[in-house]
Amino acid sequence: MKRLILIAAVSLQVAAAAGMALAQVPDRTQALLRELSEAAGPPGFEDDVRRIMVREMKPYASITYDGLGSVIAQNGSTGPRIMLDAHMDELGGIVRRTTRDGFLSMQMLGGWLDQALPDQRWIIIGSKGPVLAVTGIRDVHYTPADERTKVTPRDQILLDVGAKSEAELAAMGVEPGDPVVPDSSFAVLNGSRNYVGKAWDDRVGCAVVLEALRRLAASGHPNQLFVAATTQEEVGLRGAQTAAQTIRPDIGISIEGGVTGDSPGGHPEESQVRLGAGPGLFLYDSSEVPNRRLVALAKETAAKIGSPLQFDLAQGYGDDSAEIQRAGGGAPTVNLVVPVRYTHAHNGVMNRDDFDRLVDVVVAMIKRLDAPTVARLRDFTPAP
């Protein structure tokens, strides 16, 4: 009897270990999120991300490009023109100049906080391959007490690659104009449903539009779907402008990495969004006011499929929908997001359930955007 109990106990332990191992095996979506997050792609240098997007889009769509390098994937040839957008670029920098003793200064690309820059690891994409760099920080032993709590201005921060001269920098293949990205790897945060990594703004959106395209291509939809992976969003929404001019959409849906208000130190009026509480929708941001009827459609769709939907209004936030809504005489747009903690820094945190639910909402919305629905959304005739 004791032997049977022991065998049963061991069997349970083996089964539990097997179940835990199975739970830790990354699925296709997790693997895609990792690949997108770890890819290098500051504004104007989105090549690595573009390769991933094209590879994933090709089985389901015809591919074209605009003149700034945005990818436009079309699925469907009749019905309303629906633009589903996410941007490929991330915050980064460009090597500005080299010093005689082998350091480099950096021009920042995008909305960095100065306090996020010192004592970090970076990758310079040089002519001979990636070069590891660190940004310096003044040693505490030499810093006067009254300066220890002050933020170091970005123009006083240099990149250190271990070189001793400009000649050694040249031998490494590093020169002014080379792109720079944060060095930050993807990880599942301690067995939770949260993923930590860089560039969730907007690689999480890139993954959403890829998964939505895959599912819609399989199930069908009543429109011409244009999935745009745009360039240079972080420096002025530039790729969205040229992509939208090319597509001339009837409806625009932008997918972004949102912002949360559930981490310590925030103010209640900044954001009410919480990680893991569902995807989000911006009712207002500094660049765009969404179409009210399209917002209502998003709300109805989320409720119909049983998905939570969080709402927020944000100052100091801009997104591609601001340019999409101006294209072709104007298009109703909305900005849907996967909430992210710690955006515009080396390490952001997203929640997998928020991601999955947003894909569900986007797919369900696009299936509802048939010709009569789109005509109603675009009709601004005053009621008699």
- The residues carrying an active-site annotation are 233
Q: CB of 201 within 8 A of CB of 90?
A: yes
- The bridge status of strand 280-285 relative to strand 333-338 is antiparallel
Q: Residue 138: which residues within 8 A CB-CB, separation 6 or more?
A: 147, 152
How far apart CA 372 and CA 63 sit, in angstroms, is 28
Q: CB of 340 within 8 A of CB of 260?
A: yes
Q: What number of residues does the chain have?
A: 384
DSSP 263: S
Helical spans, DSSP H, in the chain: 2-24, 28-38, 47-57, 166-172, 200-219, 238-247, 292-305, 321-324, 352-368, 371-377
Which two structure tokens, joined as six digits, stand for 88?
Answer: 């490929």
How far apart CA 44 and CA 185 sit, in angstroms, is 22
How far apart CA 61 and CA 77 sit, in angstroms, is 11
CA geometry: angle 167, 171, 177, nearest 5 deg: 85
How far apart CA 107 and CA 377 sit, in angstroms, is 43
Q: Residue 109: which residues within 8 A CB-CB, separation 6 or more?
A: 42, 43, 44, 91, 92, 93, 94, 234, 235
Residue 63 has a CB neighbour count (10 Å cut-off) of 13
- The bridge status of strand 62-65 relative to strand 158-160 is unpaired
Selection from 87, 95, 78, 105 nearest residue 46 by Cα: 87
Q: CB of 49 within 8 A of CB of 203?
A: yes
Return the C-alpha torsion angle 287, 261, 137, 170, nearest 10.
Answer: -50
